[in-house]
Amino acid sequence: MKSGPVLGIEGTAWNLSAALFDDDLIKLVSDPYKPVQGGIHPREAAQHHASVITRVIGEVLDDGPKPVAIAFSQGPGLGPCLRIVGTAARALALSLKVPLIGVNHCVAHVEIGRFASGFDDPVVLYASGANTQVLGYLQGRYRIFGETLDIGIGNAIDKFARSQGLPHPGGPEIERLARQGSYFPLPYTVKGMDLAFSGLVSAAKDASAPLEDICYSFQETGFAMCTEVTERALSQTGKNEMILVGGVGANKRLQTMLREMCDDRGAAFSVPIPQYLGDNGAMIAYTGKIMFESGSTLPVELSRVNPSFRADQVEVTWRDEPVVSGNHEESATTRGAEAVVSFTDITATKTRVSKRYRHPELDKRLINERTRAEARLISEARRVGVRTPIIREITHDAIVMERIIGQKLKENLTPETLIETGRMIGRLHSSQIIHGDLTTCNFLVQGNKLWLIDFGLALTSSEIEHRGVDIHVLYQILESTSNDSDNLKKSFMKGYRELMPEADEILTREHEIELRGRYL
């Protein structure tokens, strides 16, 4: 259905912006809130939005065509800001007698990225102040493959910038200073498909190095973490397109890292023009337009804002299911996110691949540490009764082990296999082994037996937190790849409870970890 121009109003946080969008952008007007000091103050930002919203919308509509619908950012975001925008959108829709469309802010970033790139089915890195997520479309929703477990990369940058007396937002100044810096090690925290930045911020604040070196090392570390989990999503899903969206996407170093990673994987990469990267009314108007054309509108009584509105809560009515390639030919080698595995009839050799996007010192350290830790924990897991390959030889970057022939768990997701998966992880966790990367590509099903074949991010820990994160990674993968994820998770917990006495406490922690991903 061809609709006509849609007015979009964005105001989730710092930027009050409105736009009119038809087949292309007609007009975009923004008036950002600029704090006198520190970060965003929600009530001050809302007061700013209230003071400028009439003028901004008026400028967009002045001498333009009448909109056929009003779209607004329904969430996620800062509650006071969202309420200003929601109230204005409802009043305008009633006044003009046109439909109202509530748009998920995160989904809007994705859709304007798809529009700008022309890509059909990309993996998306959404990097902004409060959000750091890796998303992809599957079975009617945008699934979150991985995300920050604490703060977004943009907020991490701003927190560090404030500690050094740099202006807000801190990204541009840190990027400028980083061009003059040299590398030194900072904490690198990747947990399967997820990541965390608090340790990086704390270490950067306490560092005694020159500010240029801290800025350089902060970027090299934080952006490499983002690139690694994005590559893991590309590997897990088999997609061959990738886009970067969100305000932090304007950083040239992050763009370079992602482009190098995609080039090395043979994937297409795109980043929208700057006016589409940060929060903007155009993305709300465009997404509202495609939602309207697919029949997604809101009765006024259902138009309440939602500060914790998740991208994976949105029913995507405007997209068709992508065509999945049926090519599953066996090969003498396979490539994952971190390594290439080559096979003989009886052995599998896992060789970690140097990453062009990572600083050479960081790259070498990760390869050495992960190879040694993996070999040790494969052997320890085997000793406690978990089926793992027998190790035959170890070098600084490679492990030669027994070859296990079987079907990946992601191709055999049944209640029975998930019960056995739960037993296996319960056995690991009760022995204080944390796998660190519980994706369904790292299990092999062989008859009625299950094997765990990859311990690349494993560690030892007795902490509830680490066990909860381990399960959270698995749950995210199940939610992003299966329509039956609730039942599969129940099956997993049935097996897990058999061997893990603290199972219920760990499950509670997993839910707390999930809630941390909400927009705060």
Instruction: Give me the numbers of helices (H) and strands (E) for the chain, helices first please.
Output: 14, 22
Give residue 1's pLDDT.
Answer: 56
Whole-angstrom distance, CA of residue 517 vs CA of residue 520: 8
Contact between 472 and 401 under an 8 Å Cβ cutoff? The reply is no
Give residue 403's pLDDT.
Answer: 94
What the chain holds in terms of domains, given with CATH numbers, is 6-107+277-311 (3.30.420.40), 112-275 (3.30.420.40), 333-516 (1.10.510.10)
Nearest to 176 by CA among 216, 127, 224: 216
Secondary structure of residue 49 in the 3-state scheme: helix
What are the φ/ψ torsions at residue 275 (nearest 5 degrees)? Answer: -65, -15
Show binding-site residues for ATP.
333-341, 350
Q: How confident is the model at residue 357 (pLDDT cuts 50, 70, 90)?
A: very high
Average pLDDT (38-42) is 77
Contact between 101 and 296 under an 8 Å Cβ cutoff? The reply is yes
Give residue 358's pLDDT.
Answer: 97
Helix or strand holding residue 459 (H, E): strand 459-460
pLDDT at position 493 over 50: yes
Show binding-site residues for Fe cation.
105, 109, 126, 279
Average pLDDT (281-302) is 89
55: tokens are 């003028």
Show binding-site residues.
105, 109, 126-130, 158, 171, 175, 251, 279, 333-341, 350
Percent of the chain with pLDDT over 90: 79
pLDDT at position 230 over 70: yes
pLDDT at position 482 over 80: yes
Show binding-site residues for L-threonylcarbamoyladenylate.
126-130, 158, 171, 175, 251
Alpha-carbon distances of 46 from 40, 222, 307, 506, rounded to whole Å:
10, 30, 14, 38
- Which tens digit of pLDDT belongs to each residue from 7-31? 999 999 989 999 999 999 999 999 9
Whole-angstrom distance, CA of residue 520 vs CA of residue 513: 13
Average pLDDT (50-69) is 95
Alpha-carbon distances of 200 from 151, 217, 442, rounded to whole Å:
11, 10, 28
Average pLDDT (392-406) is 95
Contact between 272 and 8 under an 8 Å Cβ cutoff? The reply is no
pLDDT at position 186 over 90: yes
Helix or strand holding residue 19 (H, E): strand 15-21
Give the catalytic positions in this structure. Answer: 437
Average pLDDT (336-353) is 93
Nearest to 95 by CA among 10, 7, 1: 7
Contact between 162 and 35 under an 8 Å Cβ cutoff? The reply is no
Q: How confident is the model at residue 127 (pLDDT cuts 50, 70, 90)?
A: very high
Average model confidence (pLDDT) for the chain? 92
pLDDT at position 2 over 70: no
Q: Determine which of 17-21, 109-113, 127-131 has the lowest per-residue pLDDT on average.
A: 127-131
The DSSP result for 415-453, as a single string, is HHHHHHHHHHHHHHHHTTEE-S---TTSEEEETTEEEE-
pLDDT at position 293 over 60: yes
Q: How confident is the model at residue 331 (pLDDT cuts 50, 70, 90)?
A: low
Q: Which residues pair with 269 in a beta bridge?
A: 242
pLDDT at position 520 over 50: no
Secondary structure of residue 4 in the 3-state scheme: coil
Give residue 517's pLDDT.
Answer: 55
Q: Please provide the size of the chain in residues.
A: 520
∠ CA 509-513-516, rounded to 5°:
140
